[in-house]
Amino acid sequence: MRATRINHRRVLTGAALVLILTLGLLVNAAVARAEEEAVYVTLDGRSLLLDVPGQIREGRTLVPFRAIFEALGADVSWDPMAQTVYAERGDDTLALTIGSRVVEWRGSMIKVDAPPVIVDGRTLVPLRLVAQAMGLHVTWNGEERTVELETSPADRNLARGIQIVHDKGCMVCHTINGAGGQIGPDLTGVGARYSEEWLHTWLENPQAVRTGSRMPNFRFTDTDLTAVVTYLETLQ
């Protein structure tokens, strides 16, 4: 009788120990995962101070709205009733509503593949949208889990291409990397689908390639054409 009772107690103590150890491991794993998933941002080589780090959700990178747009010199505001954040810098006006894939950019409705979310009281928005809406070059530094944003990359041809695609508002009609309109075809991967030569001919005069095309003829100069094609070729 006595021996059995001791055994029971031992079994209980053993089980409690296993439980505590398991819980400890789970907590550790959760902390490690949160650290592993945090995403940092630099702008032109400067680290941005983020009160809430960015994160990757279902393969899409989300970054803190206010910190980034303020660093870019935009005016930022938040309408709690409409659950909408606004940014404005010159012609670039942006309105994003929490949980919604529909975004207003320069007065046009476009779509994003990842809706904005609130994390710890801060709004996180899709990085690719930010980059395109503001004409930024993006590099992902996997080792440091850092998104490197540049207002003007060192490759001047590429920098000019990004700027033109931004200024002409190609994103109003075309989705690029998950953000944009649906009037024209999705340009994600366009650099893999078409040769430089084809893209050059197309942009020079779309109607000469496809009669009745709704793609505008921007009357690009040769230098501008080369720059835009350089950028489109990076969309692999």
Total residues in contact with ligand HEC, by rule CB under 6 A: 22
Give dist(CA 136, CA 90) in Å, integer.
15
Residue whose entry in the numeric block shows the structure tokens 């004409």: 135
Closer Cβ to ligand HEC, 122 or 168, answer by number: 168
Q: Which is nearer to ligand HEC, 86 or 231 (CB)?
A: 231
160: CB partners within 8 A, 6+ apart: 223, 224, 227
Nearest Cα to Cα of residue 118 among 57, 33, 41: 57
Q: Does 130 bind ligand HEC (CB under 6 A)?
A: no
| Near ligand HEC in 192-231, by CB under 6 A | 199, 202, 210, 213-216, 218, 228
Cα(130)–Cα(63) distance, integer angstroms: 9
**Is residue 173 at the binding interface for ligand HEC, with CB under 6 A as the rule?**
yes
Segment interacting with ligand HEC, rule: CB under 6 A, options 69-77, 92-100, 105-113, 164-172: 164-172
Rounded to the nearest 10 degrees, how much is the dihedral formed by the CA atoms of 125, 128, 134, 139?
120
Report if residue 76 touches ligand HEC, rule: CB under 6 A. no
Q: Which is nearer to ligand HEC, 33 or 214 (CB)?
A: 214
Minimum Å gap between C-beta 188 and ligand HEC is 10
Backbone angles phi, psi at 196, to 5 degrees: -55, -40
Determine how many CB atoms are found less than 10 A away from the CB of residue 57. Answer: 15
158 contributes a contact to ligand HEC by CB under 6 A: no
Output the six-digit token pair for 189. Answer: 């991967």
Q: Is 145 in the site for ligand HEC (CB under 6 A)?
A: no
Supply 146's token pair. 């850092």
| Smallest gap from residue 185 Cβ to ligand HEC (A) | 4
Q: Is 133 in the site for ligand HEC (CB under 6 A)?
A: no
- Contact status: 162 vs ligand HEC (CB under 6 A): no
Is 172 a binder of ligand HEC (CB under 6 A)?
yes
Contact positions vs ligand HEC (CB under 6 A) = 165, 168-170, 172-174, 183-185, 187, 190, 199, 202, 210, 213-216, 218, 228, 232
